[in-house]
Structure 1
């Protein structure tokens, strides 16, 4: 067995072992790499107009993001807080109207009876449950901090970590490994660009559509729709829930109008915007997106669902380069017999 084969088997085996024993670690590293690609791309844009080094460009882009976020937060804090308070006030009233509507039907009464607080079974051991929730919260915050610092380190010196990956394979494979790493970064960068375009379109169309039909808090609902559009398939459903509840203020017709807005927006995003930008960026089929969402969600939970689409784009690129082009295409095509024309003699 050659060193090339051994190096690939060791690298693949180590990755599979890590996914089996500590599945969260590769996902966090991938999330950090995605953040690093985003910061690196922003630094490249800044360096086109500013004569600064790469490291300075990354730090300037990060500082610019923080300043823009803080500025928008200061400008929009008061109106957003007022709208969120109004949303918090109106949603319970809308939920009450839903309850009154369901109580008119037998199946609705049974459903309401099951979800009453007194009829729902609560887990025993309140102290341990609270401790678990607290531990989960701190664990999530620790993961956010870890991903942030790792992403910053990846963006500041990507060549260092690329050389580390190259060192894990045989010398004869290192030029190809370098090309694969560079193409992986391009794939993730293209996916990020396509995703941001889709999120912006969803937020703008949703907010505008809800405003046109008179739904209150349309800007807040548009922002929610844009943020949740990062989660494919499930995100739009979650974003539509508060809007539908608010639409019930005008009765069933208002709720149906809200549902119509979300269906139109998602149709435009799914069949026009996303296919166009994703085909141009990463060439990711819609079926592959749905399969990846289900598979990674079942295997790795919410984090896997959140990262399913970029991981599917990267996996598709790796399969194409390493398996199809690197292995299957090396076999010569089977020669087809040449059919001789039949000459009819009269």
Structure 2
């Protein structure tokens, strides 16, 4: 193995190993990526707090964690009764609304036929029992993965340099400066996406809660929280968030349903065409069609976890393509042609 060949071989081995891991253990890789994403968020907050208080980034991360726990505890103690009451009410009203909706559907022939076909499904069959068992196993599996995700985030946030140095050692010495630059650009891209996403989620939650409260919809606080959290999943998240609000509006008539639908549509329009473009300006620019295609692909391949992480993975992929393919390969076409051009022979 010659010295000039170590650089491309090392790069190929690193990316081939990551691809093999993604193919063999896709959910594990996605959970690790989710933990790293959370680690980047914690580290960014720690660095900002460290600069403000003139302390180290590690201490800044600790301050952020302690402050977050205290704020959540205090805020939870203050609003927990209201949220608990609203959640209980939501849990009670949704089945009643479904029963009311069922009664309305049964007034039509096509509705009765659809309900009869649905009732023919053997809910308590052995197959459904296996499905329930798998569902319970999945819940425990996701709970365990969430605990591991938290530990990945904590270790990555407190001491990222150790893991960065270990990752860079996988590359040949001549490739390490460029690998470090690409890694820094990737982290910066994810930081920008996270900051833009958090701002958008907050605005969506606040506007949805205020809009529903203004038109007199009960449980506006819980519905606003749901809308803000589900805004993490573009395109599909708003649809899922609007479902409980629309169900609660059904007993009050079609006018209320239309007003609730209008609130969600207005908030989603503001988020899609004003809030997100303004927040992501000069940070991360993702073509909407590419985001939708990536969500379909990752959702089909990896389920809800892939769907939730499709957008940051797309942003990271675009950054890697720009750094490694466009800048390092396509933009150097003229340099390669000049080196490969034959030296003209002159007559003496």
Moved more, 157-166 or 120-129: 120-129
Moved more, 88-97 or 165-174: 88-97
Equivalent position of 2:232 in the other structure: 230
Question: Are residues 1:105 and 2:108 paired?
Answer: yes
Equivalent position of 2:221 in the other structure: 219
Whether the 8 Å contact between 1:188 and 1:310 is mirrored in structure 2 is yes
Question: SS of 1:300's equivalent?
Answer: helix
Q: Deviations over 1:287-334 (max 9, x none)?
A: 221111111111111111111111111110000010000101101299
Question: SS of 2:191's equivalent?
Answer: helix
Q: CA separation in 1, counterparts of 2:150 and 2:317?
A: 23
Whether the 8 Å contact between 1:47 and 1:57 is mirrored in structure 2 is yes
Equivalent position of 1:314 in the other structure: 316
- Within 5 Å, give how 1:1-346 maps onto structure 2: 2-116=5-119, 119-124=121-126, 129-332=131-334
Q: Could you tell me how far 1:33 is from its partner in structure 2?
A: 0.8
Q: CA separation in 1, counterparts of 2:127 and 2:34?
A: 34
Q: Could you tell me how far 1:97 is from its partner in structure 2?
A: 2.1
Q: CA separation in 1, counterparts of 2:248 and 2:81?
A: 21
Q: Could you tell me how far 1:271 is from its partner in structure 2?
A: 1.0
Structure 2, gaps ≥5 residues long? 338-348
Question: SS of 1:29's equivalent?
Answer: helix
Q: Deviations over 1:55-103 (max 9, x none)?
A: 2211121111111111111111111111112222222222222112211
Q: CA separation in 1, counterparts of 2:33 and 2:153?
A: 9
- RMSD (CA atoms): 1.8
Q: CA separation in 1, counterparts of 2:122 and 2:113?
A: 13
Structure 2 CA distance for partners of 1:180 and 1:123, relative to 1, 3 Å: farther
Structure 2 CA distance for partners of 1:145 and 1:330, relative to 1, 3 Å: same
Structure 2 CA distance for partners of 1:123 and 1:31, relative to 1, 3 Å: farther
Question: SS of 1:48's equivalent?
Answer: helix
Q: CA separation in 2, counterparts of 1:123 and 1:231?
A: 34
Moved more, 126-135 or 76-85: 126-135
Corresponding residue pairs, total: 333
Whether the 8 Å contact between 1:284 and 1:313 is mirrored in structure 2 is yes
Whether the 8 Å contact between 1:278 and 1:284 is mirrored in structure 2 is no
Q: TM-score, normalised by structure 1?
A: 0.91
Q: Deviations over 1:185-211 (max 9, x none)?
A: 111111111001111111111111111
Structure 1, gaps ≥5 residues long? 335-346
Q: TM-score, normalised by structure 2?
A: 0.91
Q: CA separation in 2, counterparts of 1:33 and 1:218?
A: 33
Q: CA separation in 2, counterparts of 1:12 and 1:240?
A: 40
Q: CA separation in 1, counterparts of 2:128 and 2:106?
A: 32
Q: CA separation in 1, counterparts of 2:253 and 2:55?
A: 58
Q: CA separation in 1, counterparts of 2:137 and 2:8?
A: 43
Whether the 8 Å contact between 1:113 and 1:119 is mirrored in structure 2 is no
Runs of 4+ in 1 over 6 A off after TM superposition: none
